[in-house]
Structure 1
Amino acid sequence: MTGTERAGRRIDTSKPHPARVYDWFLGGKDNYPVDEQLGEQITALDPGAPRTARANRWFMQRATRLVVRQAGIRQFLDIGTGIPTAPNLHQIAQSTAPDARIVYVDNDPIVLAHAEALLRGTPEGATEYLQADAREPLTILQQASRVLDFDRPVALSLIALLHFIPDADGAHELVSTLVDALAPGSCLVLSAMTADLEPEKVERGIAAYAAGGVTLVARTHAEVSSIFKGLEPTDPGIVSVSDWHPELAEGESPLGDGPISLYGGVAFKP
């Protein structure tokens, strides 16, 4: 599943990549000058951009804890994984449930190059990495079934993914295809960018990404909520990620004051 390709030879460093820019926002080292340049341009327009990236990571950690501890789910399908940044999803899940099984999915060669860090899980559980495009959900489901039992509940994690996929490119269809394959009791964990809270800053950020060749889509609360159609959101519903179950955090909040332009939520399949 992880492949043996020499990913480094296939990494395009001539243009920025969202995963590497995100890594730069988080203070990581797995990015290139072109990514740093775009990150600096975005931060000049929106000084809160790195804080938003940290907030998104913080949401993932809290959502994983809720899914494992309160819902008892032991299987995760994480699509749009990004460059490994500790603590990773499997570390959080397996710290509570050592038998948890996680499949990571991404199509960025640099993520493949660092996939080994995603595979250091517990001997009781399983962690695997699948090189695939999010726009090919049937391929993902077929290959992930080697590790995950889709007759049992699975947490489908789409963290900061869909704002890179416009509706015209099938964002809703790929989510519905994935959710339809899940057993009752499964859940969707999702965060997505919005311009509802800070419209001017977000629009400037979108323009900066576009200048770097990356398309971003900001969705309204109603549009993000529609992605959860047919599912039952857990309290407090679809809210800014900073407001979603902050009591589940371990350690001090990295956020400070001010809005976070990401909606997040966890919703269960009846």
Structure 2
Amino acid sequence: MNFGLDGKIALVTGSDSGIGRETARMLLEEGVRVAISDRPGGDIESTLEGLKQYGEVVAVPADVTKLADVQALFAKVRDLLGDPEIVVNAAGVTGATGDFLEVDDAGWAETLEINLMGAVRVAREAIPAMRKAGGGRIVLIASEDAVQPYVDELAYCASKAGLLNLTKGLSKAYGCDNVLVNSVSPAFIETPMTDAMMEKRAKELGTDMDSAIESFLKEERPGMVLKRRGKAEEVAAAIVFLCSGPASFINGANIRVDSGAVMTMAG
């Protein structure tokens, strides 16, 4: 299938590892000129070196919780490559976890600032240039947790539910300008974030990583019928498709890449 992406310009936030990095790699392989971004002080430069073999890529560190950083990010990408026609917001954290009554306001605020308000800031900077250019694609990374909440991750779940609502709202507001906004909802993907979760679980249970993953799937994610963590490239493939020419009639949709984790028809 010809994705029709050759020569396009993309910005991928949260791309120094995991889903964001794999999305950047796949876009590069499709001939897209890509700007990657993540928090200052992370692994963005080493990620840049690893991606150069696939195509034209630049790195611009930015913290999506800071409006000035996001504005500077878009200005720098514009200078280096041009206005991005594709924006993928993969920046996110697990955030505050634990008993609802024990998670304080600061924990909630940090989680929402990164996962939800970060996406708000990125989309707000991206849309004006896309409208002026006659269209563009925005993909927000949500989660199965958005429609199937887990009691020890309620701040994360709420932030991702907000992303689904934001996606639908933006799709209605700007679809008439050919700015198509969609979301992708992964479940338990093999990334540094879930590695940390499983390392913590293994330590608590006094077991190894493989056993921690196996017990987590059995006890916490029974709907994941493939009985394994997903791979970042499996999520990235769905994201890249949504950015492609063949996906030109998809707007306001949420694609779940979750091994069947969500156990209802809704969402």
**TM-score tier after normalising by the smaller chain length:** 0.3 to 0.5
Q: TM-score under structure 1 normalisation? A: 0.43
Q: TM-score, normalised by structure 2?
A: 0.43
Return the structure number with greater helix share. Answer: 2
